[in-house]
């Protein structure tokens, strides 16, 4: 079972990886310096330092699945009643 708070969803569009929102600065549709083919290597155990181009924050990607990057960094705060992350 993977720690959900260390995951972040990604999308592949035309052989590029995007995240819908940056977990650090909230930038939308961030193009990641990662290629889809690298995901398989990461899944095989090769860790990858990922630098978000929007704000230069760094995480290490330690695993991937079809929808999520698993990192060594807590990207999501615990679900709290005070803050809703629902988008329209």
Interface stretch with Zn ion, choices 3-11, 20-28, 32-40, 62-70 (CB under 5 A)? 20-28
For 20, 29, 37, 39, 63, the CA distances from 12, given in Å and listed in that order, are: 11, 11, 11, 11, 16
**Sequence-ordered list of residues with C-beta below 8 angstroms from that of 72, at least 6 positions apart, any chain:** 6, 59, 60, 62
Q: Does 55 bind Zn ion (CB under 5 A)?
A: yes
CB of residue 81 to Zn ion, shortest distance in Å: 26
CB of residue 29 to Zn ion, shortest distance in Å: 11
Interface stretch with Zn ion, choices 4-12, 14-22, 36-44, 63-71 (CB under 5 A)? 14-22
């Amino acid at each position: 079972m993977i720690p959900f708070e260390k995951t972040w969803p990604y999308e592949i569009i035309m052989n590029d990886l995007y995240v819908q929102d940056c977990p650090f600065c909230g930038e939308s549709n961030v193009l990641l310096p990662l290629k889809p083919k690298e995901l398989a290597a990461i899944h095989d155990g090769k860790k990858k330092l990922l630098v978000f181009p929007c704000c230069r924050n760094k995480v290490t990607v330690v695993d991937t699945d079809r929808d999520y990057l698993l990192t060594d960094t807590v990207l999501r705060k615990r679900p709290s009643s005070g803050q809703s992350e629902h988008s329209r």
